[in-house]
Amino acid sequence: MLSIKLHEATKKFKISNKLAMFFLEKKDIPVKSHSSVISMEQLELLREFSGSIEKYSKIVDEFNNIEKRKKKESKKVVKKESTKEKKVKEKEIKEEIPKIKLKKETIPEKKKGLKNIEKDEIAVEKDKIDKKTEKKKIVQKKEELKEKEKKEIKRREKKELNLKQPEPEKEKNHNLKKQKTEELNLPKIIKISDLITLKEFCEKLNIKLKHVEEKIKCLKKEYLSNDIIDVEDVKEICKQFNVKVEITSYEDYIFFGQVEKNKAKSLKRSPVVTVMGHVDHGKTTLLDSLRKTKVADREAGGITQKIGAYKLGINGGDIIFIDTPGHEAFTNLRVRGAEITDIIVLVVAANDGVKPQTIEAINHAFAAGVPIIVAINKIDMDSADSDKVKQELSQHNVLVEEWGGDVVCVEISAKFDKNLNSLLEMIILVAEMQELKSYKDVPARGTVIESRLDTNLGPMGSVLIQDGSIKTGDCFICGNSIGKIKCIFNDRGKTINYAEAPIPVEIMGFENLPDSGDRFQIIDDIEKAKKVIDLRKLRQKETRKDEIFAEKKLSLQNLFKKMENKEIKSFPFIIKTDNFGSGEVIEEILLKQSIENLKVVVIHKSIGNISESDILLASTSGSIIIGFNVKASQRILMLAKREKIEIKLYNVVYHLIEDIEKSIKGEMEPEYIESKIGKVEIIQKFKISKLGIIAGCLVKEGKVTNKSKLKVIRGNDLVFEGEIESLRRIKDEVKEVKAGTECGIRIKNFNAIEINDILEVYEILKKE
């Protein structure tokens, strides 16, 4: 059996040796000294004791009371002894004085040297008394030293207790007063990034490292001077120092720091325009005509296969166009917080009218809050009917200026270059009303529009540079990747060495493939950037672990609660059905559910199975997806879980109505989910006559409890799903066993276990 010395264990758990010995004695485990060896079971007891604040406080109070009692008793003994000694000495002195007088009387007066003898005898007696008082002083001094030692032990234990427990309010106030007396020159407010080192944090607060380290100790954390501090710890420390803090992303902090350093000014910039619309309505042909190229002819079947971004020079100015192969790319950028589009040009074919993808584009534009310019295309065709298109658009809340609305509408023919100049003029006019600006003379920042892996050049990223300038050789940070610019290509594929915002470019030099929507930022400190990337990856892993407990944006379960808290005033839906008629009926049913404080809104309605585009639109608009007689693939369900979107599938209308009514009244029954709590490996197999088959296990991750559910996994197959009947540690029944510990498990109604089987342990939780 493995063992460890007591003082090593106490050092690990940050408790005193005396306290540990006291605790173990209470458990009937006598320990002679701090060098005594303890078993792993005793170590486990100490771990539980140090981890439980309630147990710890109780034992510490008991220990302190016993120490106080011992101290009082020792004081009484010392006091009794001192008074007794005093009386004895007084008695001795009284007895000695008459003897001296008697000697004086017996010696003849006329004898020579009488006076000298008398003096000598008195001196001897005085010396005896002085020695006795000296001994008394030595005893008192020893007692004082013992008292000091006891006080020092008590002080240390109190310090340990303070480290273990939250600091009381009075003590916090005392610490603040103490710091005030030291006259710390603290700023009223600090601006920092979400990734700041301890050293940089101290510099921002304008104080020495020791003052911040005191606060960190109270938080039971440890940081070296070059370690990045957790954001929550930063907030807590600033709160204790009474300093306001503004935290921005690492990229924004670098960028605005450069803006301040260079005293850069924001100047008027070119608009970024996204072209959207139904398939084959002429999106790419429009851009093709504007650029005077033949992009569409080179694409398979005339349909755009990848995102392209183009910069067009118009009357001394520029317009940047983004051509998307579908609306998923646009929405995906919005989901990741990359709001790069200033204007949406909605292309609608005059001979075809409003189609499902047109409606989808309108809904995306509304969700993003981006102004729309309608381009009615193909007006050169005989079957063109612009009025019909305008009427259909009005049914979807897009009212053009001719019909009394505020949406700009231009009738064009992309194929024959008709009215294209008018469209460009309208784009510039709408952009001027928005007063778009960007910074010059600073290191560039931008957003990744798309990325690809080139077999010869490696990872490539299409980046829209929104501020500043870039050049070959610049180092950059982008999402979870860092790199150095090896080559820059413009929108026509030509190599350039320098570029100023706003401009779309393709960059070579990424270490990893970036994601759409990742922020791109030029940096100076490459070492700090590497630390930032490592920390981001770590945080991403933690976020994935906690994902199951994250609150959804809106669900039928939490609707009533959000209504009560006045968090929502509308109830948004996306409807997907197997046919048009069903969609109309369900929309009508939903709209009837509107009540005084809650308006039901149908964001989007279409035919077919639930798609990625539906999930992304629901994410940006905060909607619930209702599916009637349709399906959702496993990939779509995983995406919905990641984006925290609720999908409700029905094939009976009555069930849909019933669920909506219950959710509005707050009567929805709770849903339950599996929460994985541990992973266990079977390392041995025992057969006990009275009990049956027992699995000798090692807990690899998390924990296992006697009430846990489990799945038996053999290779990649699920062999059995059930629950634990009995959990043992050595010979005792236990409630819980943690990672790194061996245990015995008996599985209810299942004996066909094998060595190396994996047990996935989980609990059933109520879905919030």
Tokens of 194: 């979400």
pLDDT at 532 over 70: yes
- Give mean pLDDT, residues 36-59: 74
Please indicate, yes or no, whether residues 277 and 302 belong to a single structural domain of this protein.
yes
pLDDT digits (tens, 9 = 90+) for 133-164: 666 666 676 677 777 777 777 776 666 555 54
Please check whether residues 231 and 331 belong to one and the same domain. no
Supply the range of the domain harboring residue 464.
445-548
The domain that holds 713 is classified in CATH as 2.40.30.10
Mean pLDDT of 747-752: 86
Cα–Cα distance measured from residue 251 to residue 382, given in angstroms and rounded to the nearest whole number: 53
Q: Is the pLDDT of residue 169 over 70?
A: no
Instruction: Confirm whether 254 is domain-assigned.
Output: no
Question: Token digits for 404?
Answer: 């009394």
Tally of structural domains, the chain: 6
Residue 516 lies in a domain: yes
Q: Which of 54-58, 90-94, 307-311, 518-522 has the highest mean pLDDT?
A: 518-522
The answer to whether 379 and 281 are in contact (CB under 8 A) is no
> By C-alpha distance, which of 417, 414, 424 is closest to 286?
414
Mean pLDDT comparison of 149-158, 553-562, 622-631, highest-scoring range: 622-631
In a domain, 653, yes or no: yes
Q: Are residues 279 and 412 in the same domain?
A: yes
Give residue 743's pLDDT.
93
- In this structure, the answer to whether residues 490 and 597 fall within a common structural domain is no
Q: Cα–Cα distance between 195 and 227 in angstroms, integer?
A: 10
- Pair (636, 512) in one structural domain: no
Averaging pLDDT over each range in 129-143, 164-178, 234-248, 595-609, which range is the top one?
234-248
563 pLDDT more than 70: no
Q: For the domain that residue 588 is a member of, what is the CATH number?
A: 3.40.50.10050
Q: Which of 516, 548, 580 is the last residue of a domain?
A: 548
Q: How far is CA 600 from the centre of its chain?
A: 33
Last residue of a domain, one of 435, 453, 483: 435
pLDDT at 265 exceeding the cut of 70: yes
Among residues 373, 401, 435, the one where a domain terminates is 435
Backbone φ, ψ for residue 152 (5° rounding): -65, -40
Tell me what pLDDT residue 546 has: 43
**Domain containing 378 — which CATH number?**
3.40.50.300
DSSP assignments along 197-253, one per residue:
BHHHHHHHHTS-HHHHHHHHHHTT----TTSBPPHHHHHHHHHHTT-EEEEE-HHHH
User: Both 631 and 725 in a single domain?
Assistant: no
4 and 43 Cβ atoms separated by less than 8 Å: yes
Tell me the pLDDT of the chain averaged across its residues. 76
Q: Residue 720 phi/psi, 5° resolution?
A: -155, 150
* Structural domain includes residue 721: yes
Structure tokens at 342: 């200033």
CA distances to 11, 19, 42, 462, 729 from 4, rounded to whole Å, are 12, 17, 10, 58, 20
For tokens 């770590």, name the residue.
538
262 part of a folded domain: no
Q: How far apart are CA 405 and CA 372, in angstroms?
A: 12
What are the CA-CA distances from residue 351 to residues 386, 453, 689, 700 (Å)? 8, 39, 83, 65
Alpha helices in 547-611 (DSSP H): 559-564, 580-591
Domain annotation covers residue 265: no
Q: Which contacts of 72-77 are long-range, i.e. CB under 8 A and separated by 24 or more positions?
A: 74/146
Read off φ and ψ for residue 438, nearest 5 degrees: -150, 165
Residue 96 placed within a domain:
yes
For residue 604, being part of any structural domain is answered with yes
DSSP 3-state of 128:
helix
- What is the Cα gyration radius of the chain? 40
**Count of positions (residues) in the chain:** 768
Q: Are residues 626 and 692 in the same domain?
A: no
> How does residue 491 score in pLDDT terms, banded at 50, 70 and 90?
confident
Residue 680 pLDDT > 90, yes or no? yes
pLDDT tens-digit readout, 57-77: 777 777 777 777 776 666 555
| Whether 524 and 589 share a structural domain | no
Specify whether 113 is located in the same domain as 144.
yes
Which structure tokens are listed for 260?
């301040």
Q: Say yes or no: 453 and 413 in one domain.
A: no
Q: Are residues 404 and 284 in the same domain?
A: yes
Contacts 24+ apart (CB under 8 A), 714-722: 714/754, 714/757, 714/758, 719/752, 719/757, 720/747, 720/750, 720/752, 722/747, 722/748, 722/749, 722/750
Residue 32 sits in the same domain as residue 128: yes
Residue 528 one-letter amino acid = K
